[in-house]
Chain A
Amino acid sequence: MRSIRASSGSQLLNGARVTAPGGRDAPAAAETDGPLAALAAQYGLRPSAQRPSIGTYLTELARRWSFIMGFATARNIAMYTEAKLGQLWQVLAPLLNAGVYFLIFGLIIKGVSRGVPDYLPFLVTGVFVFSFTQRTFISTSKVITDSLPLIRALKFPRAALPLAYVMIELQQMLLSMAVLFVLVLAEREPLTWDWLLVIPALALLTLFNAGIGMFAARTGARVNDFAQLLPFLMRTWLYLSGVIYSIQLFVAEHSQNHGWATTLLQLNPAAIYITLVRQSLLESQRASAFGAKPYNAAKCYAWAGATTRPANANPREWRHALHQVHHNPPLPSGHPLSQFGSAYCHPTFISSHLWLFGVGWAVVALLLGFWFFWRKEVFYGRG
C-alpha cells in the first residue's frame, strides 16, 4: 500500500511541503488557501467535514440500517434492566397509561364519552397511537444532545440517530398494539379483515414520525429551549387530536358554525392516523363513520348533542331522534349500530380522503424533515 508513489507532481509537492525536517518555526502565514487546496485537489483529497450530497447521504444511511435497528433494540432492552419487573414494563407502561385516561375520562368525567360507542377501546387506541407520535417528538428533540459523545467519536450519517429513536418508539408502540389487540378482542370487537388496514396506517404514521423526528432533532440541537417548550405543545396537540373525545361528534355539533376550524381539526395528521387505526380495528367506529348511513339531519344533530332542531329536519323526525338518544345508553349492549348518529351526518372527509391525507402527510413530513435535518449535517457535533 505504501509503495503507491505519485510519480508526477512531486516537484510541486515538495514546494508545498509544510514540514521542513526539523523546521523550528512552522510558518502559518506562508500556507494560505492556495497551495494546500491545490495539493488536495491534485491528489483527490476531499474536505472531511463536508456535507455529502443527498444521494451519497441516503446510500450511507441505508448502509447503517442494521446499526439503527441494533441501536434501537439495545436501547429498548437497556431501558428496563434496572426495574424488578424488567421487560414486563414494556407492556405494563402502556396499560397503565391507558388505565389512567380511562379512570379520568371514562369513569370520572363522563361528558367526553357520551355518544361514543365502545369508549374504552376507542380511548386506548387513541392514547397508544398518539403517544407514539408524542414520545417520538419529545425524545428526538433531545437526541443530538444525548448522543454528543457518540457524535464526537464516530462518523456516520447523523440522521441515523433520530431514525434510531423513531425505531425505539416503533418497537414500543408495536408492543402496545399487541396489548391493544387483546383488549379490543376482550371487549368483544369482532376480528375482521379490516384489521389488516392497521398495517398500512401504522406504516404511514411511522414515516410521518420519522419526518417530524428529524425536524425535532435539528430544532432541538440548535435551539435548546425547544425541549422545554415541547411538552406543552404536545399536550395542546393531544387535546386537539380527538384522542379522548370524538372529533366526529364535535364536528357534527359545530361544523355549521365553524366550518374552517372543524376542517382543520380533521386535517390534523394525528387525528387522521388515529381515525384510520380506529376505523380499522373497531367495528363501531366504522359503523359510525360519517356517511356510513343515508344522510339524516335530525339523527345527526340529536346524537351530536344539539338542543335545537336543525333547519333541514322536520319536527317529527327531530322528536323521534331526541327520543332515541335519550333512551339509549352511551355504550349500547345489543349493538344497535344503526343508531350511531354520526353515521347519518354528511361526510366532510370520507375514509378514502383520510387515507389520501395520511399518505400526503407522511410524504411531506418525511421529505421536508429529512431535507431540514440534512442541511445542518456537519454542525451537529459542535454542541
Chain B
Amino acid sequence: MAKSAKTADTVVPATGNGRTSEPTVIVDGLHVVYRVYGAGGDRGTASTALFRILGRKTRPTIREVHAIRGMSFVAYRGDAIGIIGRNGSGKSTLLRAIAGLLPPEHGTVYTICDASLLGVNAALMEDLTGERNVVLGCLAMGMTKSEIKTKYAEIADFSGVGEFINLPMKTYSSGMGSRLRFAIAAAKDYEILLIDEALATGDAEFRVKSHARIEELRNKAGTVFLVAHDLEEVEDTCNRVIWLDRGKIIEQGEDVIGIIDRYIDASGGEKVTRDPVTRKRISAPEPA
C-alpha cells in the first residue's frame, strides 16, 4: 500500500518541489489548555463539596491539561507535513487548533482559509439509515442540498455498502461503518486538509481505494497535515515532518527520514534498515 503514493498520477508532486513560498498556515507561539471537570482531587462527596464552598476554596476538581506548550511553525502551499509523536503528545490537539476548533490559551494560528479535519464521525447517528447519514454528514461539512444530490451516488458507490445503505448504521459491521464514514468525509475537496490517522480502515481492497482517494485529496489541497503512527506512510507522502513530545516540538524540518529515525531511536522502536544511498527502507516491517 505504500506504493500507491508513487503510482497515483500526481499532477503536482506533494513532496519536494511542489512547495511554494506562500504561507497557508502560521502557528505562532501556540498554547492549548484543556480544562477537565471532576478529574479527582478530593473524594467528590457532598460533604467535601460543602466544606470547599464554606472554606471558599477554588474547586480542586478542575484540572488543567496543558496539551500544547508553545509551538511555532509556518506551512506553505504545497507542503505535506507529517506530525509524529507518542500518544498524548498533542498531535490531534494541534490539528484541532489549526482547524480553529480549539481556542488557543496563548498565541495564534493564522490560516489562509478555513482548514478542515477529514472526518464526520461525530455528525452521524447510528440509529439512522446510511442514506440519511450520507445527507446529514454532507450537510455537516457545509455542502448544499444540490451538491449532495450530485455527490450522493458517488458516495454510496465508493463506500461499497450496497443495499445496506437503506438500513440503520448500527446494523453495519465495523468495517462497513468506517467505509461509509470515510466515503462521506472524502466527498469534499479541501484547501487545507487535516488528516488524523487510522482513516484507511476496512478490508484490503478498500484500503487501496481509500489510499488512492486520500492521495487525490492531497493533490487537490494546498496544504496537508497528516497525523499518523504509520511512519512509513509519513516517509512516503510528506515533505516535512514535525516531531512532538508532551506538547512541544522536539524537532522539525525537511529531513523526513532523519527525523523519523531519531524519533524511532528515542521511542525505543524497532530500528529500520535503510539503503545507504537511496535511504529507502530495505526490509520494512509489514504494517499490521
Residue B110, interface by CB 8 Å: yes
Interface residues of A in 164-203 (CB under 8 A from B): none
Contacts of A36 in B (CB 8 A): 26, 28-29, 72, 74, 110
With the chains together, A276 CA to B187 CA distance in Å?
48
Contacts A48-B111, A70-B135, A71-B136 given; does A78 touch B35 at CB 8 Å = no
| Chain B contact residues, majority secondary structure | mixed
Chain A 25-53: CB-based contact to B (< 8 A → 1; otherwise 0): 11010011100110110011111111000
Residue A155, interface by CB 8 Å: yes
Residue A63, interface by CB 8 Å: yes
With beta carbons under 8 angstroms apart, the residue of B72, B141, B142, B222 that contacts A2 is B222
CB pair A47 B123 closer than 8 Å: no
Contacts of A153 in B (CB 8 A): 101, 117, 119-123
CB pair A22 B249 closer than 8 Å: no
CB pair B125 A75 closer than 8 Å: yes
Instruction: Choose, from B40-48, B251-259, B275-283, the stretch at the interface.
Output: B251-259
With the chains together, A3 CA to B13 CA distance in Å?
12
| Chain A contact residues, majority secondary structure | loop
Q: Nearest Cβ in chain A — how far from B198, in angstroms?
A: 14
With the chains together, A373 CA to B147 CA distance in Å?
30
CB pair A155 B116 closer than 8 Å: yes
Contacts of A155 in B (CB 8 A): 99-101, 114, 116
With the chains together, A33 CA to B101 CA distance in Å?
22
With the chains together, A188 CA to B70 CA distance in Å?
72
Instruction: Choose, from A11-19, A121-129, A306-314, the stretch at the interface.
Output: A11-19
Contacts A43-B22, A378-B103 given; does A70 touch B136 at CB 8 Å = yes
CB pair B98 A48 closer than 8 Å: yes
Q: Closest B-chain residue to A68, C-beta based?
A: B139
With the chains together, A20 CA to B259 CA distance in Å?
13
Q: Nearest Cβ in chain B — how far from A171, in angstroms?
A: 15
CB pair A382 B34 closer than 8 Å: yes
With the chains together, A155 CA to B114 CA distance in Å?
8
With the chains together, A20 CA to B142 CA distance in Å?
37
Contacts A4-B77, A36-B28, A37-B28 given; does A21 touch B142 at CB 8 Å = no
CB pair B34 A383 closer than 8 Å: yes
With the chains together, A75 CA to B132 CA distance in Å?
11
CB pair A152 B102 closer than 8 Å: yes
With the chains together, A74 CA to B130 CA distance in Å?
12
Q: Closest B-chain residue to A22, C-beta based?
A: B255
Contacts A20-B253, A47-B108 given; does A224 touch B37 at CB 8 Å = yes
CB pair B139 A71 closer than 8 Å: yes
Chain B 68-79: CB-based contact to A (< 8 A → 1; otherwise 0): 001111100110
Q: Which of B36, B37, B74, B119 has the most CB of A within 10 A?
A: B74
Number of contacting residues on B, CB 8 A?
A: 70
With beta carbons under 8 angstroms apart, the residue of B19, B22, B123, B220 that contacts A150 is B123
Contacts of A70 in B (CB 8 A): 135-136, 139
Interface residues of B in 215-267 (CB under 8 A from A): 220, 222, 240, 248-249, 251-255, 258
CB pair B117 A154 closer than 8 Å: yes
CB pair A48 B110 closer than 8 Å: yes
CB pair B258 A39 closer than 8 Å: no
Contacts of B72 in A (CB 8 A): 18, 26, 28, 31, 36
Contacts A16-B74, A28-B72, A149-B122 given; does A154 touch B141 at CB 8 Å = yes
Contacts of B103 in A (CB 8 A): 49, 378-379, 381-382
CB pair B20 A43 closer than 8 Å: no
Contacts of A74 in B (CB 8 A): 125, 128, 132, 136
Residue A54, interface by CB 8 Å: no
Contacts of A31 in B (CB 8 A): 28-29, 72
CB pair B23 A13 closer than 8 Å: yes
Chain A 197-238: CB-based contact to B (< 8 A → 1; otherwise 0): 000000000000000000000000000100000000000000
Q: Closest B-chain residue to A147, C-beta based?
A: B122
Contacts of A19 in B (CB 8 A): 73-74, 240, 252-254
Q: Closest B-chain residue to A150, C-beta based?
A: B122
Contacts of B122 in A (CB 8 A): 147, 149-150, 152-154
CB pair A82 B127 closer than 8 Å: yes
Q: Which of B97, B123, B240 has the most CB of A within 10 A?
A: B123
Q: Nearest Cβ in chain B — how far from A41, in angstroms?
A: 9
Q: Closest A-chain residue to B126, C-beta based?
A: A78
Contacts A47-B108, A49-B100 given; does A1 touch B125 at CB 8 Å = no
Residue A24, interface by CB 8 Å: yes
Residue B140, interface by CB 8 Å: yes
Residue B66, interface by CB 8 Å: no
Contacts A16-B74, A18-B74, A37-B28 given; does A45 touch B23 at CB 8 Å = yes
Q: Nearest Cβ in chain B — how far from A27, in angstroms?
A: 9
Residue B186, interface by CB 8 Å: no
CB pair B110 A45 closer than 8 Å: yes
Contacts of A2 in B (CB 8 A): 12, 18-20, 77-78, 222
Contacts of B109 in A (CB 8 A): 47-49
Could you name 16 residue pairs across A and B whose Cβ atoms are closer than 8 Å?
A: A2-B18, A2-B77, A4-B77, A23-B251, A25-B251, A26-B72, A26-B73, A26-B249, A31-B28, A39-B74, A43-B112, A48-B100, A66-B139, A70-B139, A150-B140, A224-B37
| Known A47-B109, A47-B110; 18 more pairs at CB < 8 Å | A18-B252, A19-B74, A22-B258, A23-B253, A31-B28, A33-B29, A40-B28, A48-B114, A66-B139, A66-B144, A71-B136, A74-B125, A77-B132, A154-B116, A154-B117, A154-B141, A155-B99, A155-B100
